[in-house]
């Protein structure tokens, strides 16, 4: 098994993808809108991935937060609210917001489990700042670390009840970035004392099974390398100060915040201490480059992956009833 999660080019595996993935054996896959048509198609796709891997516990990921970040949507699936809706509710009624978030996430988990998806790249634990880039501010759970952690915990619990593993992101915090790392490399100049606010939600939820890095340079910790590629940030901050010992994957290495070839970025991320590389865009030449540069997954990383996937439990609850419960909490406020 190679320590990488690959994307797929379309709604079904191509012959080239099937042959390549069978040979490389990636740790998992991530799905996007281009891979999604309807329930029957999506279930057939995820079943084909499990059959190819020979593993029922295969990590099949999706970004299904709600709002602008939703790969599955109408008309086949309902729309879900984004993080700020729960942040607004929290200001009026904290316990209602927590219960609404838990129910919302349980519904998400049930929806994903139905089509064979096992991992949702949520919750987002980035603490919003007044100048946070819109790419994060439009999804954040608020500006107070305790609030972010409380809503993030509810998201993890709800996803688990729906049969899905959550991923806390973007470690050690994306809230101070004022540019979008999809297009530019953000640099954060705040001192370490101020950054304690950013890492607080991650420390609170440090026992999460999976986490994702941020492509951000934090000058207080490593002025030369973004967190994804920094042994200092990963070892001293994420593993040390935060105390996270779950599976750590990169954010998409194709984002423009990172420079170099796909293989260079992948190898550097693993060398820095990430367990898995996330490569989303299904470009065969880049996937071949990445696979050629990566050694088989390390034993400690495989153990973290196995532990995370073993934490999944059977989906629980009726989708319509859970959605109604979520909406009732919103109505109370």
Per-residue pLDDT at 59: 98
What secondary structure does DSSP assign to 157-184, as a single string?
A: HHHHHTT-EEEEEEET--TT--S-TTTS
Q: Where are the beta strands (DSSP E) in 161-263?
A: 165-171, 187-188, 210-213, 217-218, 247-252
Per-residue pLDDT at 180: 84
Q: What is the DSSP letter of 295?
A: P
3 state DSSP class of 7? strand
Q: What is the CATH number of domain 2-332?
A: 3.20.20.300
Whole-number CA gyration radius for the chain: 19
pLDDT at 165 over 80: yes
Distances (CA, A) of 138 to 81, 106, 150, 165, 175: 11, 22, 18, 23, 11
Contact of 162 with 112, CB cutoff 8 Å = yes
Q: Tokens 């490389």 correspond to what residue?
A: 24
Q: pLDDT, tens digit, for every residue of 113-133?
A: 999 999 999 999 999 999 999
| pTM tops 0.95 | yes
- Residue 212's DSSP bridge partners are 249
Per-residue pLDDT at 302: 98
Distances (CA, A) of 247 to 92, 264, 294, 298, 316: 35, 21, 17, 12, 25
Section 152-159 average pLDDT: 98
CA atoms within 13 A on the CB side of 92: 13
Per-residue pLDDT at 179: 87
Section 162-185 average pLDDT: 94
pLDDT at 333 over 80: no
Q: pLDDT, tens digit, for every residue of 216-261?
A: 999 999 999 999 999 999 999 999 999 999 999 999 999 988 999 9
Section 260-288 average pLDDT: 97
Section 156-182 average pLDDT: 95
Residue 123: asked if its preceding bond is cis (omega within 30°), the reply is yes
Q: pLDDT, tens digit, for every residue of 39-58?
A: 999 999 999 999 999 999 99
What secondary structure does DSSP assign to 90-159, as a single string?
A: HHH-HHHHHHHHHHHHHHHHHHHHHTT--EE---B-PPP-TT--HHHHTT---S-HHHHHHHHHHHHHHH
Q: Where in the sequence numbering do the catalytic residues fall?
A: 182, 251
**% of the chain at pLDDT higher than 70:** 100
Closest among 222, 309, 332, 330 to 272, alpha carbons compared: 222
Token reading at 263: 């293989």
pLDDT at 3 over 90: yes
Angstrom distance (rounded) from CA 312 to CA 297? 21
Q: Tokens 């929290």 correspond to what residue?
A: 90
């Amino acid at each position: 098994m190679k320590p990488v999660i690959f994307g797929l080019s379309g709604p079904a595996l191509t012959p080239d993808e099937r042959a390549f993935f069978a040979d490389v054996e990636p740790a998992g896959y991530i799905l996007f809108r281009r891979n999604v048509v309807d329930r029957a198609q999506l279930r057939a796709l995820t079943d084909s991935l499990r059959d190819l891997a020979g593993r029922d516990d295969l990590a099949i990921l999706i970004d299904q937060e709600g709002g602008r970040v939703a790969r599955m949507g109408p008309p086949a699936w309902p729309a879900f609210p984004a993080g700020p809706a729960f942040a607004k509710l929290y200001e009026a009624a904290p316990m209602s917001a927590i219960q609404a978030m838990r129910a919302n996430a349980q519904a998400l988990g049930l929806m994903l489990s139905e089509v064979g998806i096992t991992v949702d790249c949520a919750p987002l634990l980035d603490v919003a700042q007044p100048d946070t880039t819109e790419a994060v501010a439009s999804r954040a759970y608020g500006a107070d670390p305790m609030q972010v952690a409380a809503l993030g915990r509810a998201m993890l619990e709800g996803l688990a009840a729906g049969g899905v593993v959550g991923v806390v992101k973007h470690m050690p915090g994306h809230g101070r970035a004022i540019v979008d790392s999809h297009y530019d490399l953000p640099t954060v100049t705040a001192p370490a004392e101020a950054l304690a606010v950013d890492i607080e939600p991650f420390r609170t939820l440090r026992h999460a099974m999976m986490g994702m890095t941020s492509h951000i340079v934090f000058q207080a910790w490593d002025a030369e390398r973004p967190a994804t590629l920094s042994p200092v940030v990963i070892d001293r901050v994420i593993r040390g100060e935060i105390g996270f010992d779950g599976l750590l994957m990169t954010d998409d290495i194709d984002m423009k915040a990172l420079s170099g070839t796909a293989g260079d970025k992948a190898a550097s991320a693993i060398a820095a201490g990430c367990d898995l590389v996330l490569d989303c865009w299904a470009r065969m030449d880049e996937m071949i480059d990445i696979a050629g540069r990566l050694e088989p997954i390390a034993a400690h990383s495989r153990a973290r992956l196995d532990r995370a996937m073993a934490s999944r439990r059977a989906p629980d609850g009726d989708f319509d009833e859970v959605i109604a419960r979520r909406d009732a909490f919103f109505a109370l406020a």
